[in-house]
């Protein structure tokens, strides 16, 4: 039973109008599952949302069609069925054709081409390569352009050819790097094209039509429509080869099974009606010397549970029975009347021509599928028309027996219905199976991707670990440099403190200047002497100091003590201390020297100012 959801149907109509893909004839259960799968991937909760999404993202169509159109396939898929087709169909077909006639084959729903190349290999094996090239045309069609493009490449991986016999791979494929490419000279006989089985016209004069694992995606109505096209496509004695799960054909009057198990069918000419149920002929009369035989015969005839009627050779009613009266109202009162005057002669079925034919050909005829309305109930009949002859063979008359097959017919209908349900369930199972295969392949490739990502992460991790180790050792080195620095700083601080103590303890003002005469040091006594704090003078030009010392007089001394050849000099100067008192100051300028006597780094001088 098809579930329908108006929103889903609206989506199908949209797909048809927007992209020409008509999925309305596909079975809903599988179709809905596939669409929902796509919806969850793009995170759209309902069909209307998904329709909106499609309108905004045109690329989504391709992703959706790839999800809906299951492309599972293989070379010689179901090998047993292919063996059968090769031995019982293709070989006799080739043998039965004139040597110069063409062999036309159609692979409908060919996916990525394996089925078409399977046909090519099978025929080339039978005909030989040269004959194959001259006589064979293989049409391979699908609705899916992406698949067709893949099929046209004719290039397959190790996995695809692994189930092919190695000698066939060797003979029919050329190895190009890690790929197997189908032979170019044979490839020319395979013609790929887009054909939508639901909408497009079929190819004609086909000897073998393979449509495998494709019909099962369509509902019964669409399958019937496609089968009508296949019937048209096939030549008079053409053969149809379906997938192993596809069975609805067993109900079709267009095809008759050649091998039901392998799903191989022959095209039935349109006017041929398959024979109905076969009934046993009435037992031959046995002559016996029994008294009251005529009466006995009469009574047997009258009481028969089968409605019966006997006619004379010139068409008059000769015998009737009770069952006939019950069924059609024809009774012993009608004996002697021409049969053609009775309604029964043409209702429920035209019997007169069958009676004439049975008389003429002297053989029993059966008219099946006769329906007859009795009140509210429909009775199904098979009418048996038998000519009756005497011992010399001259015609005695015609016997009509009306078999009521209503119960059998009901059982048959029920059986057929049950069969259909079974077949539908089987098809559903098969298509679910294919879906699972696709899902499995997708999962496998996701797992492979994850594995690759994992490997990449692992190597990134290793790199990070190495970097970490390197950083750690750099850190250790920095730490030890830092420790040394701390020790040096502590020593320096100690030395500075000592120098400070020495300078503070001196009973003279001391200033140290650099080569530019900028003050680098100014001791406590200098502060006391001139009233300027060390923080005020450090960095100042010595000659710009505003103190009670006549700086101009100090300048020649200072200049003389700077530079490479600088020498010590001293003088006495009158000055004014910070309290404004006049004092005499002895000023001595000494060049800054290294321990070895060379000029100190950056050069400079020491100025000692002592109250005389
Ligand atoms: C499962 S594959 C069968 C491949 C091959 N015949 C086999 O049995 O291995 C079904 C193919 O039917 C095709 N298909 C689905 N709907 C179709 C349509 N309306 N007309 C033609 N091909 C169709 C899909 O594209 C897919 O390639």
Residue range 83-135, pLDDT digits in tens:
999 999 999 999 999 999 999 999 999 999 999 999 999 999 999 999 999 99
- Final residue in a domain of this structure, among 381, 404, 427: 404
Taking alpha carbons only, the member of 216, 190, 16 closest to residue 107 is 190
**Tell me, what's the pLDDT at 1?**
46
Say if 446 falls within a structural domain. Answer: no
Residue 508 has pLDDT above 60, yes or no: yes
The CATH number given to whatever domain includes residue 226 is 3.40.50.150
Say if CB 60 and CB 50 are below 8 A apart: no
Domain stop point among 68, 97, 121: 68
Domain co-membership, 19 together with 63:
yes
For residue 513, the domain's CATH number is 3.30.450.20
SS3 assignment, position 214: coil
On whether residue 396 sits in a domain, the answer given is yes
First to last CA, the chain: 127
Average pLDDT over residues 6-29: 93
Residue 19 resides in a domain: yes
Residues 191 and 150 in one domain: yes
For residues 63 and 88, membership in a common domain is answered with no
In sequence order, the 6+-apart residues with CB closer than 8 A to the CB of 142 are 109, 110, 111, 148, 151, 194, 195
Domain end residue (candidates: 404, 419, 452): 404
In order of 152, 527, 532, the CA distances from 536 in angstroms are: 93, 10, 6
Over residues 35-62, mean pLDDT = 95
**pLDDT number for residue 251:** 54
Phi, psi (rounded to 5 degrees) for 276: -85, -165
Position 33 in a domain: yes
Q: How far is CA 391 from CA 17, 206, 217, 287, 473, in A?
A: 75, 54, 62, 11, 124
Residue 550 lies in a domain: yes
User: pLDDT: is 495 or 600 the higher one?
Assistant: 495
* pLDDT single digits (tens) 516-534: 899 999 999 999 999 999 9
- Judge contact between 151 and 116, C-beta under 8 A: yes
Residue nearest to atom 14 of ligand 1 (CA): 109
> If you ran DSSP here, which 8-state letter would residue 46 be given?
S
Residue 334 structure tokens = 């009608």
Q: Within this chain, do residues 526 and 594 fall inside the same structural domain, yes or no?
A: yes
Whether residues 184 and 326 share a domain: the answer is no
pLDDT for position 439: 80
For ligand 1, whether the C-beta of 334 sits within 6 Å is no
380 and 245 belong to one structural domain: no
Total domains present in the chain: 4
198 lines ligand 1 (CB under 6 A): yes
Q: Considering the domain boundaries, does residue 221 fall inside one?
A: yes
What pLDDT was estimated at residue 269?
Answer: 79
Q: Which of 16, 109, 219 to mutate to test the pocket of ligand 1 (most atoms within 8 A of CB)?
A: 109
Q: How many CB atoms lie within 10 A of CB 145?
A: 11
Is the domain of 21 the same as that of 87? no
For residue 194, the enclosing domain spans: 79-267
Ligand 1 lined by 144 (C-beta under 6 Å): yes
DSSP string, 543-603: GG--SSS-HHHHHHHHHHHSSTT---EEEEEEEE-TTS-EEEEEEEEEE-B-TTSSBPTT-
Ligand 1 within 6 A of CB of 148: no
Q: What is the mean pLDDT of the chain?
A: 89
Helix (DSSP H) and strand (DSSP E) numbers for the chain? 20, 20
| Residue indicated by tokens 């001595």 | 588
Q: Which of 112, 142, 240, 263 to mutate to test the pocket of ligand 1 (most atoms within 8 A of CB)?
A: 142
**Co-location of 64 and 115 in the same domain:** no
Ligand 1 centre to CA of 112 (Å) is 9
Same domain, 24 and 118: no
Residues 241, 155 share a domain: yes
pTM of the model: 0.57
Give me ligand 1 centre to Cα 430, in Å.
Answer: 14
Which comes out higher in pLDDT, residue 436 or 281?
436
Return phi, psi of residue 57, to 5°: -120, 90
Residues 144 and 204 in one domain: yes
Residue whose C-alpha is closest to residue 147's, from 65, 227, 84, 209 = 65
**Per-residue model confidence as pLDDT tens digits over 219-257:** 888 998 999 999 999 999 999 999 988 866 445 678 999
Does 311 map to a domain?
yes
pLDDT at 599: 64
Residue 277 resides in a domain: no
Q: In the numeric block, which tokens belong to residue 473?
A: 């050792």
For residues 110 and 192, state if they share a domain.
yes
What confidence score (pLDDT) does residue 252 get?
A: 67
């Amino acid at each position: 039973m098809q579930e329908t959801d108006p929103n889903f149907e609206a989506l199908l109509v949209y797909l048809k109008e927007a992209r020409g893909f008509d999925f309305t004839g596909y079975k809903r259960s599988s179709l809905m599952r596939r669409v929902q799968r796509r919806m969850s991937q793009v995170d759209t909760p309902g069909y209307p949302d998904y329709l909106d999404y499609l309108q905004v993202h045109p690329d989504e169509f391709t992703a959706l069609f790839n999800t809906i159109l299951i492309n599972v396939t293989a070379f010689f898929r179901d090998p047993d069925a292919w063996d059968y087709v090769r031995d019982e169909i293709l070989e006799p077909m080739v043998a039965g054709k004139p040597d110069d006639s063409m062999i036309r084959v159609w692979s409908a729903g060919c996916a990525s081409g394996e089925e078409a190349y399977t046909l090519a290999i099978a025929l080339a094996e039978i005909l030989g390569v040269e004959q194959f090239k001259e006589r064979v045309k293989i049409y391979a069609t699908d609705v899916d352009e992406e698949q067709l493009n893949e099929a046209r490449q004719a290039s397959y991986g190790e996995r695809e050819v692994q189930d092919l016999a190695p000698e066939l791979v060797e003979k029919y494929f050329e190895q190009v790097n890690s790929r197997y490419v189908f032979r170019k000279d044979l490839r020319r006989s395979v013609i790929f094209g887009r054909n939508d089985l639901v909408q497009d016209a079929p190819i004609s004069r086909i000897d073998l039509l393979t449509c495998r694992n494709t019909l099962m995606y369509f509902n019964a109505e669409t399958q019937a429509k496609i089968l009508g096209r296949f019937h048209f496509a096939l030549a008079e004695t053409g053969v149809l080869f379906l997938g192993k799960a596809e069975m609805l054909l067993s109900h079709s009057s267009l095809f008759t099974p050649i091998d039901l198990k392998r799903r191989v069918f022959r095209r039935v000419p349109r006017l041929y009606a398959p024979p109905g149920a076969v009934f046993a002929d009435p037992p031959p009369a046995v002559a016996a010397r029994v008294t009251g035989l005529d009466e006995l015969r009469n009574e047997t005839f009258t009481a028969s549970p089968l409605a019966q009627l006997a006619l004379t050779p010139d068409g008059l009613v000769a015998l009737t029975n009770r069952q006939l009266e019950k069924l059609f109202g024809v009774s012993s009162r009608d004996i002697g009347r021409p049969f053609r005057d009775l309604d029964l002669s043409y209702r429920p079925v035209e019997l007169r021509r069958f009676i004439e034919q049975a008389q003429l050909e002297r053989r029993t005829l059966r008219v099946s599928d006769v329906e007859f309305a009795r009140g509210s109930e429909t009775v199904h009949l098979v009418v048996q028309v038998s000519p009756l002859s005497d011992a010399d063979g001259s015609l005695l008359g015609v016997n009509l027996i009306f078999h009521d097959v209503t119960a059998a017919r009901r059982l048959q209908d029920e059986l057929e219905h049950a069969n259909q349900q079974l077949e539908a369930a089987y098809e559903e199972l098969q298509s679910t199976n294919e879906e699972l295969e696709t899902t499995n392949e997708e999962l496998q490739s996701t797992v492979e991707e994850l594995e690759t990502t994992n490997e990449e992460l692992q190597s990134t991790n290793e790199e990070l670990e190495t970097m970490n180790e390197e950083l750690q050792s750099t850190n250790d080195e920095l730490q030890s440099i830092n420790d040394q620095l701390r020790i040096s700083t502590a020593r320096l601080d100690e030395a500075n403190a000592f120098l400070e103590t020495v300078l503070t303890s001196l009973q003279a003002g001391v200033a140290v200047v650099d080569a530019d005469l900028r003050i680098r040091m100014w001791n406590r006594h200098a502060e006391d002497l001139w009233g300027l704090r060390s923080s005020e003078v450090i960095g100042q030009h010595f000659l710009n100091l505003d103190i009670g010392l006549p700086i101009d007089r100090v300048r020649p001394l200072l200049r003389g003590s700077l530079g490479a050849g600088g020498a010590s000099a001293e003088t006495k100067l009158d000055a004014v201390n910070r309290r404004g008192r006049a004092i005499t100051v002895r000023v001595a300028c000494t060049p800054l020297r290294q321990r070895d006597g060379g000029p100190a780094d950056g050069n400079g001088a020491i100025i000692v100012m002592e109250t005389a």
